[in-house]
Amino acid sequence: MNEKDNSKMLQHWPTLLLGLIVSVIFLLAIFTFQVKSTEIAVVTTLGKISGVKDAGLHFCWPWPFQKIHKFDNRYHCFDGSSGKLEETYTADGQPVVAGIFVVYKIKDAEKLFKSLTIPDVSQAEDKINSQMRNEKTAVLGKYKFDELVNTDPKKMKLTEIENKMKARIAPIVLDKYGIQVEFVGIKNLSLPEKNTGSVLNRMKAERNVVAEQYRADGKSEAKIIKDKADYDRKLKLAQAEAKAKEIKAEGDATAAGFYSVFKDEPELAAFLRKLESLRKIIPSRTTLILNTDYAPFDLLKADQKLLQDGKKDSGKPK
């Protein structure tokens, strides 16, 4: 090869390198595919499933030999496509309008792909939707109305209802469609407009019964408290009377000793009684004009006589 041919090759080398790079990129685009971290892919070869691929770069034969079907592998919240808010009946025959939702994720992409006529997750949601409607009606029909709506949180069983619906929906959906249901919840719960008035009146009547029971319990408790207070009052009065009688008996016993003295000195006894009567009749610093011939005022006359006799005796020489 002469120098002229070498120079020509050197001149076309960039073009050849560019062509080679383009060819490699083209081949990679034809014979590889990429799966995102949020996706999962089902590979079919001539219409049959040949593999399931996770996130990453993978080799494949070009179309029409192989096809790539990608599904979103993240958690989805689905509240139904039809019949979201349907009227159903509780165990005690009360109509309610309820809507539920599910949180799901694709667990088995191959099983899901086989259950679909077209590789679209919306078709899978339609299959879940029918199962949701069936289980919602079946589970709600086993609970009474006051277990769904109640002023007492202890009587409500919404969490139990949600868990039972999940327990019924999840195994069927996973087995048939390869979809794992993580959670089932009640989104809406209301009353039909035509039944709202009658249900509210019934609830009001039930509240009145409860209120009346509280009033009766209050009256009964008040009577118990009042009876106990009356009993305590009577008991204290009886104890006080017994104590008073005891004190009076002690006083009478003490006074009996003095009465024996009065028997021996009747004049002293009469004198003391008259003094006691004067203390009660005549208060301090009182001026009275009385007849001293009658008891007990005759003591005043006797005292005056004693006073005069004392003065006469004091005037006599000793």
pLDDT band at 94 (very low <50, low <70, confident <90, very high): confident
Q: Is 249 within the bounds of a domain?
A: no
Evaluate if residue 310 carries a pLDDT over 60: no
Tell me, yes or no, whether 24 and 56 share the same domain.
Answer: yes
Where is the domain boundary, 71, 89, 110? 71
The lowest-confidence range among 132-141, 154-163, 289-298 is 289-298
Q: Is 159 within the bounds of a domain?
A: yes
Query: What backbone torsions phi and psi does residue 38 show, to the nearest 5 degrees?
Result: -100, 10
Q: Is 211 within the bounds of a domain?
A: no
Q: Where in the sequence is the domain holding 130, given as residue range(s)? A: 76-190
- List 185's β-bridge partners, or say none: 101
Mean pLDDT for the stretch of residues 246-266: 75
Most confident of 171-185, 203-217, 259-273: 171-185
pLDDT band at 318 (very low <50, low <70, confident <90, very high): very low
Evaluate if residue 307 carries a pLDDT over 50: no
The CATH number given to whatever domain includes residue 104 is: 3.30.479.30
Mean pLDDT for the stretch of residues 282-307: 61
The Cα 265–Cα 62 span in angstroms is 149
Query: What pLDDT is recorded for position 295?
Result: 64
Task: Name the strand (E) or helix (H) holding 42.
Answer: strand 39-45
Q: Is 161:171 a contact under the CB 8 Å cutoff? A: no
Q: Which residues contact 31 (CB under 8 A, 6 or more apart)?
A: 59, 60, 61, 62
The lowest-confidence range among 104-108, 157-161, 201-205, 308-312 is 308-312
Tell me, yes or no, whether 36 and 102 share the same domain.
Answer: no
Q: Tell me the average pLDDT of the chain.
A: 79
Most confident of 5-19, 114-128, 131-145, 192-206: 131-145
Evaluate if residue 196 carries a pLDDT over 70: no
Most confident of 44-48, 138-142, 207-211, 292-296: 138-142
Evaluate if residue 3 carries a pLDDT over 70: no
Query: What pLDDT is recorded for position 164?
Result: 93
The total number of structural domains in the chain stands at 3
Q: Is 250 within the bounds of a domain?
A: no
Q: Is 293 within the bounds of a domain?
A: yes
pLDDT, one tens digit per residue, over 138-186 is 999 999 988 888 878 888 899 999 999 999 999 999 998 899 999 999 8
Residues of the chain with pLDDT > 90, as a percent, come to: 12
Tell me, yes or no, whether 275 and 170 share the same domain.
Answer: no
pLDDT band at 102 (very low <50, low <70, confident <90, very high): very high
Q: Is 160 within the bounds of a domain?
A: yes
Where is the domain boundary, 55, 71, 87? 71
Tell me, yes or no, whether 104 and 61 share the same domain.
Answer: no
Preceding peptide of 64 cis, ω within 30°: yes
Query: What pLDDT is recorded for position 8?
Result: 57
Query: What pLDDT is recorded for position 171?
Result: 92
Q: Is 212 within the bounds of a domain?
A: no
Most confident of 143-157, 166-180, 247-261, 303-317: 166-180
Query: What pLDDT is recorded for position 167?
Result: 93
Tell me, yes or no, whether 129 and 172 share the same domain.
Answer: yes
Q: Which residues contact 143 (CB under 8 A, 6 or more apart)?
A: 90, 91, 157, 161
Query: What pLDDT is recorded for position 142?
Result: 92
pLDDT, one tens digit per residue, over 49-91 is 888 888 888 888 787 788 888 888 899 999 887 667 788 888 9
Tell me, yes or no, whether 81 and 58 share the same domain.
Answer: no
